[in-house]
Chain A
Amino acid sequence: MTSVVVKDVSLSFGAYDVLKQLNLDVPEGEFLVLLGPSGCGKSTLLNCIAGLLDVSDGQIFIKGKNVTWEEPKDRGIGMVFQSYALYPQMTVEGNLSFGLKTAGMARDEISTRVARASEILQIEPLLKRKPAALSGGQRQRVAIGRALVRDVDVFLFDEPLSNLDAKLRSELRVEIKRLHQKLANTMIYVTHDQIEAMTLADRIAVMKGGVIQQLDAPQVIYNKPVNRFVAGFLGSPGMNFLDGEVEGGAVPAFGIAGTKIPLDRYGFDHVAAPGKAVLGIRPEHVALGDAASTMPFSAEIGVELVEPMGSDTLVWTKLGGQSFAFRVEAERHISRGDRLCIGFDPARASLFDGQSGKRI
Chain B
Amino acid sequence: MVEQVFRAVPDMAAVAPATSRASGLVGPSGPRPRRTFSRRNIFIYGTLFVVAIYYLLPLYVMVVTSLKGMPEIRLGNIFSPPVEITFEPWVKAWSTACTGLNCDGLSRGFWNSVRITVPSVFLSIAIASVNGYALANWRFKGAEIFFTVLVVGAFIPYQVMLYPVVIVLREIGLYGSLWGLVLVHTIFGMPILTLLFRNYFASLPEELFKAARVDGAGFWTIYLRIMLPMSLPIFVVAVILQVTGIWNDFLFGVVYTKPDTYPMTVQLNNIVNAVQGVKEYNVNMAATLLTGLVPLVIYFVSGKLFVRGIAAGAVKG
Chain A positions near chain B (C-beta within 8 angstroms): 47, 50, 52, 71-73, 77-79, 81-83, 85-89, 98-99, 102-103, 146, 150, 158
Contacts and interface: CB of A to CB of B under 8 A. Distances in A.
Nearest to B229: A89
B210 A52 contact: yes
B52 interface: no
B215 interface: yes
A85 B210 contact: yes
Interface residues of B, number: 16
A146 B212 CA distance: 11
Contacts of A88: 230
Q: Which 9 A-B pairs have the closest CB atoms?
A: A99-B215, A73-B216, A85-B207, A85-B211, A89-B229, A81-B207, A102-B216, A72-B214, A79-B214
A81 B211 contact: yes
Nearest to A75: B214
A82 B217 CA distance: 20
A235 to B, nearest CB: 31
B216 A99 contact: yes
Contact of A50 (B212, B214, B230): B214
A7 to B, nearest CB: 22
A77 B214 CA distance: 8
Contacts of A99: 214-217
Contacts of B143: none
Interface in B214-256: 214-217, 221, 225-226, 229-230
B214 A98 contact: no
5 contacts: A52-B213, A71-B216, A72-B213, A99-B214, A150-B215
Contacts of A81: 207, 210-211
A102 B208 CA distance: 16
Interface centre among A78, A99, A103, A158 (most CB of B within 10 A): A99
B205 interface: yes
B215 A98 contact: yes
A324 to B, nearest CB: 43
Contacts of B207: 81-83, 85, 158
Contacts of B205: 83, 85
Given A82-B207, A85-B207, A87-B226, A52 B216 contact: no
Contacts of B211: 79, 81, 85-87, 146
Contacts of A83: 205, 207
Contacts of A50: 210, 214
Contacts of B225: 87, 98
Contacts of B215: 73, 98-99, 102, 146, 150
A67 to B, nearest CB: 13
B89 to A, nearest CB: 49
Nearest to A158: B207
Given A81-B210, A85-B210, 5 more contacts: A50-B210, A79-B210, A82-B207, A83-B207, A158-B207
Interface of B: 205, 207-208, 210-217, 221, 225-226, 229-230
B59 to A, nearest CB: 40
A294 to B, nearest CB: 55
A331 B129 CA distance: 66
A253 to B, nearest CB: 53
A87 B208 contact: yes
B208 A52 contact: no
Contacts of B208: 85, 87
Given A83-B205, A85-B205, A89-B230, A102 B210 contact: no
A86 B210 CA distance: 11
Interface centre among A73, A77, A78 (most CB of B within 10 A): A73
A85 B216 CA distance: 15
Contacts of B230: 88-89
B142 to A, nearest CB: 15
A71 B210 CA distance: 12
A358 to B, nearest CB: 37
Nearest to B228: A89
A99 B205 CA distance: 19
A85 B230 CA distance: 13
A52 B209 CA distance: 10
Contacts of A103: 216
Interface centre among A50, A77, A87, A158 (most CB of B within 10 A): A87
A281 to B, nearest CB: 41
Contact of B213 (A73, A82, A146): A73
Contacts of A98: 212, 215, 217, 225
B241 to A, nearest CB: 24
A77 B216 CA distance: 11
A124 B148 CA distance: 49
B260 to A, nearest CB: 45
B259 to A, nearest CB: 48
Interface centre among B205, B215, B216 (most CB of A within 10 A): B215
Nearest to B209: A85
B171 to A, nearest CB: 42
B145 to A, nearest CB: 15
Nearest to B205: A83
A56 to B, nearest CB: 15
A255 B48 CA distance: 78
Contacts of A72: 213-214, 216
A78 B214 contact: yes
Contact of B221 (A77, A82, A102, A150): A102
Nearest to A87: B226
A77 B215 CA distance: 10
A54 B56 CA distance: 59
B214 A52 contact: yes
A85 B226 CA distance: 11
Contacts of B216: 71-73, 99, 102-103
Contacts of B226: 87
A240 to B, nearest CB: 39
Contacts of A78: 214
A190 B186 CA distance: 46
